[in-house]
Structure 1
Amino acid sequence: MSMQQRPRLLIVRSVSVQQLDGNLEAIRAAFPDHSISILTHPHGVAAVEKYPALEHVYRYRHSGPFRFGRGLEELRGEHFDRVVVPVANPTGGGFFNVFLFSFSLPASRRVVCSSLGEISELGVGRLARMVAAKVLTAPLAMLLAVPLVVVASLWLPWWLGRLRR
C-alpha cells in the first residue's frame, strides 16, 4: 500500500515576520492538507525557523527585491502545487515584482494572502491586468500632466501679478 504525498505549498516571504504570523494561520486554514515551505532572504531565515508548521526553509540568495527568474538555484528539481504571496495590504498594491517573480517558480497555481488573511487566485489574467495598468499609467499621467503644466505656466504669472497689486 503506497502512501500518497501531501500537496506542497511554498510561501514567498514578502512581508514582515509579524504579519506572517497572521498570514500563516490563514494559509494553514485554507490549505490544511498541504506541506508548507517558505522562501526568504538570508536575513529572514532565523526569524522564520520558529514556525513548526514549516517543513523547509529555502534561501533566496540575492540581496534586494525578488526578481523574475533570479534566485531559483535552491529550488532546482522542486515543484509546488501552490505558491502563496503574502501582501501587506488588502489589495496587493506594491507587490507586482513578487507576483511576477512567483510565475518563475516551479508551481501549478499561485495565490495571494492579503493583510486581512483573505486568499485569492493569482492567475495570468490578473497579472496581465497589472502589467497593462503599469504600462498605461505613466503615459496617461504624462498626457494629462502636459496640458496642466501649460495652463499653469500661463495662469500662474497672471495670478501672481494680481496678488502684487
Structure 2
Amino acid sequence: MTEKLKQIIKEEVVKLPKETRDAISAFNWGTVSEEIGKKYLLTESEVNDLQVETGLVLIGLVDGDEYALNIESNIGISKEGAEKIAEEINQKIFNPISKTISKKVEENLKTKNTNWKQTLNFIVSGGDYSAFLKKDEPRNTTEEISKTNMLGNNSKITDIKTKFTI
C-alpha cells in the first residue's frame, strides 16, 4: 500500500465512530489484503487497487454489496476471480473487524446506565429525538439578514467564488 493511500485512509478512519476506528486500527488489514492479492497472482498495482477497494468498504464510502463488482471492474479480473477474492477478504478482514466492532458496542452498552423512562420516552416519540430537544423562540429572519449584510459577508462570498473560478 502506498504511503499516500495509507494517509488518506487514516484521515477517513479518524472520522468514524470510536469502536470502528479502534477495530480497523487494531487489525492489519493492509497486510492481509496484500497476501490475498499475491495468492491470486495480482500485480503490485492490482494489489494496491484491491487495498483501495478494501479500504473504501472499511471506511464506509462504498457498500460491501458492491465489493466484488468493484474488484472486477477496477482491477480487471474475471467475475469468478473477483468473487473468490471478495469472499476470502470477507472471511479474513471484514468478518473479524465486524465481530470486534460488535463486541465493543455490546461492552459499551453494558456499561451505559439507561433507564426505562428513556426507552419509554423514545418509543412514545416514535423514534424522533427532536421531541426531546429544547425549542428555541422563532427568529426574526429579516432582522438577521440585514445584520449579516451589514457585517460584510459580501466580501466573504466573493472570496469563496474566486476559489472556484477556473
TM-score by length of 1: 0.27
More helix by share: 2
TM-score, normalised on structure 2? 0.27
Q: Which has the higher contact order (CA 8 A, sep 6+)?
A: 1
